[in-house]
Amino acid sequence: MKLTTRYPFSAAHRLHSNQLSEDANWAVYGRCNNPYGHGHNYWLEVTVAGEPDADTGMLVDRRQLDKCVSEEILSRVSHVNLNEQVEELKDLVPTTENVAYVFADWLKSGWGKHFKDGAVRFDRIRIYETRNNRFEIQANEVRQ
Amino acid sequence: MKLTTRYPFSAAHRLHSNQLSEDANWAVYGRCNNPYGHGHNYWLEVTVAGEPDADTGMLVDRRQLDKCVSEEILSRVSHVNLNEQVEELKDLVPTTENVAYVFADWLKSGWGKHFKDGAVRFDRIRIYETRNNRFEIQANEVRQ
Amino acid sequence: MKLTTRYPFSAAHRLHSNQLSEDANWAVYGRCNNPYGHGHNYWLEVTVAGEPDADTGMLVDRRQLDKCVSEEILSRVSHVNLNEQVEELKDLVPTTENVAYVFADWLKSGWGKHFKDGAVRFDRIRIYETRNNRFEIQANEVRQ
Amino acid sequence: MKLTTRYPFSAAHRLHSNQLSEDANWAVYGRCNNPYGHGHNYWLEVTVAGEPDADTGMLVDRRQLDKCVSEEILSRVSHVNLNEQVEELKDLVPTTENVAYVFADWLKSGWGKHFKDGAVRFDRIRIYETRNNRFEIQANEVRQ
Amino acid sequence: MKLTTRYPFSAAHRLHSNQLSEDANWAVYGRCNNPYGHGHNYWLEVTVAGEPDADTGMLVDRRQLDKCVSEEILSRVSHVNLNEQVEELKDLVPTTENVAYVFADWLKSGWGKHFKDGAVRFDRIRIYETRNNRFEIQANEVRQ
Amino acid sequence: MKLTTRYPFSAAHRLHSNQLSEDANWAVYGRCNNPYGHGHNYWLEVTVAGEPDADTGMLVDRRQLDKCVSEEILSRVSHVNLNEQVEELKDLVPTTENVAYVFADWLKSGWGKHFKDGAVRFDRIRIYETRNNRFEIQANEVRQ
């Protein structure tokens, strides 16, 4: 079975690619290319999979999951500028597509610190940039 | 194709495991272990799958589906105390994980009373405990 | 100007009036009269009014407001049984109407502990029992 | 990875099947069979799949996707009567099931006009008739 | 204090004024002037005001309120064409502004059938045409 | 009667007061004081009041209202950094309280360009910073 939990966070970003000319940046990103940046209230959804524990009836201890997501992801991106303050995004355009890959990678790398082998599995993340756009990546699509 | 319908219901529960000491219960469930119980407005989503009927253009008669969900699930849990008033949960901790297994089992067992063989299939249920937590189980994961 | 903040909390209750016969209780409250109780995910909205501070640009320090609402209201009702565990509701039917009066009274009585005279004013509370029912009371309608 | 975007549109329809008697129409569709029609605020969700472009960091140019959905679907159904003004629905009952097949077919047929081979793929559409009913069809379930 | 309850309903309409030329109709209403009509999922909010009853703790019996709204309003507009099937709208353009006046008038005229003098008062209605547009009218603004 | 319309916009900001020390800034604003800024998906609600026109049945031409809000407000703040790119906020901390005053002032000053005297009146604005915080100011509270 699966459990999905949802976390809000606010951050600033600017869409700008060093691989593209100024004109091309404007053509591709429009107002999102504004040099001063803009921002969003993002929603992060984390889905985990497994079987409930026979004694507790829980797939995962919710506070442990919250702690994991907070340490591995939210503490690095809440109230920050994604272009300037996130090491892994410095050479990437901080589109929500790239942000999703970075988050999924963080979660996958840090998972073992929080959960024992064979217990609950990380299954998928979704990021809502606005209510009308969401991006989703499966744990097995994480790069590298 | 698939159709998903959504149903609200309100119920009380207390998270407490007879397999655990008082201290362990408090450590695992926190305030949800309060002996007097607390409650939620749950949302149940039922997903069915199949092909629309050539004459009616409908995958399933919605009123028949509502009747099925109402009889098999909602009538047993709406405005009740899940610990005290649901036979199948008496020996289980009424976490939403366990509640989901019980609901899926009820729906699977009762399906034949409402729908003919080969017609619309029960595919999945999802239960939202709050807006930020949801649990999901596929029809083929039902225990028994 | 006004600022409204919203807080979720979960609790159990049973609608039952000692002033009414068993039959009348059932006639008035229906399934909400179930002796084992049921529960809700409530939303509490607190509205405050005043002028932003010239230096900080804030009508009220949000963390101070959260602390006030948490101490005066949420800590007393989150994950509890409203009939059994809230002194002020012991002789009242815990309808959301009565709950609203009790909350407004708590907030009004405790306000001075958190905010200096003349600064931000408590204006109104709203409680959502479900998405489709909400109750609202102005600060000046508080009883006693 | 996947990107889902959401579009609202309003339309009128009447559920009536020429294959059924007047009585059977009423029995199957109830008030939705009202000869004068009724209507909905629908939500259309379009999911696309692929890999983000290395230069732009985008799975798809959002404005190009909006243009595609607008030309292939929304311009044909926004503020129209689905029974009277949509050629492909003239011989079908405009249930949301049938509407979903027609939309998916339009999107699949028109995809090549907007996106080059091998780039982003059309994955799935979902249509919400109300907040409590949604229909979903995978790109590979499109008829014919 | 006040209680607000919310009711969804679906209907079709066409915005067209007999006082205006064809061209002016198109200029004013755009696609909403489409002769075949279109439709919406409306939300109606009804607000009532008064004091909770000392015995029941309720401002109003919720089932009585639902019955009142259903008989006076919903039964006349659910799944109908507002232009063709609502007597009071036949000589009016069925904008949500005019619909709000008609609803408020129905509620005010029918109130006495459902509630005794001096008990709960009708305070206000709000109609959401979409999530982004809502119209509101106080009981004392009802025409005639 | 009143009409309220809702508009989303995304922007970045940093909460920092030149009247306060570095330490006091951190104490008051916490992570919102991060020098690189962060951002939000704001919702702006504009409420107007008046009587529907007898011919059109409309309180206000919706496209005219959208144009007014777009020109007077949205075009100046959508996808911008509120600290750096909004003249009127340069000497103010861009809390949503101050933003609300600036918006209300823009709307009040620009109103006459869009609407004739005596027609529809500007009544109130509300800004949602997140789903759980909203700020509201009446037209008659506009400063200066």
- Residue F40: pLDDT over 90: yes
- Residue E78: pLDDT over 60: yes
E15: left (phi over 0), alpha (psi -120 to 50) or beta: beta
Chain B residues closer than 8 Å to D30 by CB? 63
Residues B29, B32, B36, B40: is their CA dihedral positive or negative?
negative
Give the whole-number percent of chain E exceeding pLDDT 90: 94
pLDDT in tens, E16-52: 999 999 999 999 999 999 999 999 999 999 999 999 9
Residue A68 known to be catalytic: no
Residue of D nearest to E85 (CA): D36
Please count the residues of chain E: 144
Q: Do F2 and E141 touch (CB under 8 A)?
A: no
Q: Do D55 and A141 touch (CB under 8 A)?
A: no
Q: Do E41 and D41 touch (CB under 8 A)?
A: yes
In terms of C-beta density within 10 A (0-12 exposed, 13-18 middle, 19 or more buried), how is residue C118 classed?
exposed
Q: Dihedral of the CA atoms B8, B13, B15, B19 (nearest 10)?
A: -120
Give the whole-number percent of chain C exceeding pLDDT 90: 94
> Quick one: how far is CA A143 from the chain centroid?
14
Q: Between the CA of residue E85 and those of D29, D80, E9, E36, what are the distances in Å?
A: 19, 19, 15, 15
Q: How confident is the model at residue F144 (pLDDT cuts 50, 70, 90)?
A: low
Report chain A's terminal Cα–Cα distance, integer Å. 27
Q: Do C39 and B80 touch (CB under 8 A)?
A: no
Helix, strand, coil share (%) of chain B residues, nearest 5: 40, 30, 30
Q: Are strands C121-130 and F38-49 parallel, antiparallel or unpaired?
A: unpaired
Chain D residues closer than 8 Å to B62 by CB? 133
pLDDT at F29: 96
- Residue A141: pLDDT over 80: yes
pLDDT at F86: 97
D52 touches chain B (CB under 8 A): no
C100 touches chain E (CB under 8 A): yes
Contact assessment for residue F43 and residue F78, using Cβ atoms and an 8 Å cutoff? no
Distance from CA of B121 to the nearest CA of D (A): 14
pLDDT in tens, A63-82: 999 999 999 999 999 999 99
In sequence order, which residues have a C-beta less than 8 Å from that of residue D91 and are 6 or more positions away? none
Q: Do F39 and A38 touch (CB under 8 A)?
A: yes
Spatial distance between the Cα atoms of D46 and D3, rounded to a whole number of angstroms: 8
In order along its 144 residues, chain B shows pLDDT tens digits of 999 999 999 999 999 999 999 999 999 999 999 999 999 999 999 999 999 999 999 999 999 999 999 999 999 999 999 999 999 999 999 999 999 999 999 999 999 999 987 789 999 999 999 999 999 999 988 865
pLDDT at E51: 94
Which residues in chain C come in under a pLDDT of 70?
Answer: 144
Helix (H) or strand (E) holding D112: helix D96-114
Chain A residues closer than 8 Å to F80 by CB? 34, 36, 38
Distance from CA of A115 to the nearest CA of B (A): 15
Pairs across A and B, CB distance < 8 A: 55
Phi, psi for residue A123 in degrees, rounded to 5: -110, -40
Which residue has tokens 């639902």?
Answer: E66
Mean pLDDT of A89-109: 96
Chain E residues closer than 8 Å to C17 by CB? 55-57
Contact assessment for residue A114 and residue A122, using Cβ atoms and an 8 Å cutoff? no
Contact assessment for residue A6 and residue A43, using Cβ atoms and an 8 Å cutoff? yes
Pairs across C and F, CB distance < 8 A: 55
pLDDT in tens, E94-127: 999 999 999 999 999 999 999 987 789 999 999 9
Contact assessment for residue E16 and residue E33, using Cβ atoms and an 8 Å cutoff? yes
Chain B residues closer than 8 Å to C77 by CB? none
Which residue has tokens 């995958």?
Answer: B59
In sequence order, which residues have a C-beta less than 8 Å from that of residue C124 and are 6 or more positions away? C46, C47, C136, C137, C138, C139
Q: What is the DSSP string of E51-111?
A: ---TTT--SS-HHHHHHHHIIIIIHHHTTEEHHHH-GGGTTS---HHHHHHHHHHHHHHHH
CATH of domain B2-141: 3.30.479.10
Chain F residues closer than 8 Å to A38 by CB? 10-12, 39, 78-81
Mean pLDDT of E71-91: 97
In sequence order, which residues have a C-beta less than 8 Å from that of residue C118 and are 6 or more positions away? none
Q: Between the CA of residue F60 and those of C96, E130, F67, F71, what are the distances in Å?
A: 38, 16, 12, 17
Predicted complex ipTM? 0.94
pLDDT at A144: 55
Q: Which of A100, A127, A96, A126 is nearest to A29 (CA)?
A: A96
Q: How confident is the model at residue F117 (pLDDT cuts 50, 70, 90)?
A: confident
Identify the three-state secondary structure at position C7: strand
Scanning D51-91, the segments in alpha helix (DSSP H) are 62-69, 75-77, 82-85
Which residues in chain D come in under a pLDDT of 70?
Answer: 144
Q: Are strands F133-138 and D133-138 parallel, antiparallel or unpaired?
A: unpaired
Spatial distance between the Cα atoms of B1 and D102, rounded to a whole number of angstroms: 13
Residue of E nearest to C136 (CA): E2
- Residue F104: pLDDT over 80: yes
**Active-site entry in B45, B68, B79, B114:** B79
> Quick one: how far is CA B112 from the chain centroid?
18
E118: left (phi over 0), alpha (psi -120 to 50) or beta: left
Residue that wins the pLDDT comparison between F141 and F46: F46
Spatial distance between the Cα atoms of D16 and D29, rounded to a whole number of angstroms: 7
At CB < 8 A and 24+ separation, what contacts does D29-36 make?
Answer: D30/B63, D31/E78, D31/E79, D32/E79, D34/E79, D34/E80, D34/E81, D34/E85, D36/E12, D36/E80, D36/E81, D36/E84, D36/E85
pLDDT at C144: 55
Q: Do F57 and E17 touch (CB under 8 A)?
A: yes
pLDDT at C116: 85
pLDDT at A142: 83
Q: Do F133 and C2 touch (CB under 8 A)?
A: no
In sequence order, which residues have a C-beta less than 8 Å from that of residue F140 and are 6 or more positions away? none
Q: What is the mean pLDDT of chain F?
A: 95
**Active-site entry in A38, A79, A84, A141:** A79
Q: Do B55 and D19 touch (CB under 8 A)?
A: yes
pTM value is 0.95
Token digits of residue C47:
């509205």
The amino acid sitting at A49 is: A
B134 touches chain C (CB under 8 A): no
Chain A residues closer than 8 Å to F81 by CB? 12, 34, 36-38
By Cβ distance, the residue of F1, F7, F55 closest to E100 is: F1
pLDDT in tens, C15-51: 999 999 999 999 999 999 999 999 999 999 999 999 9
Q: Do B134 and A59 touch (CB under 8 A)?
A: no
pLDDT at D64: 95
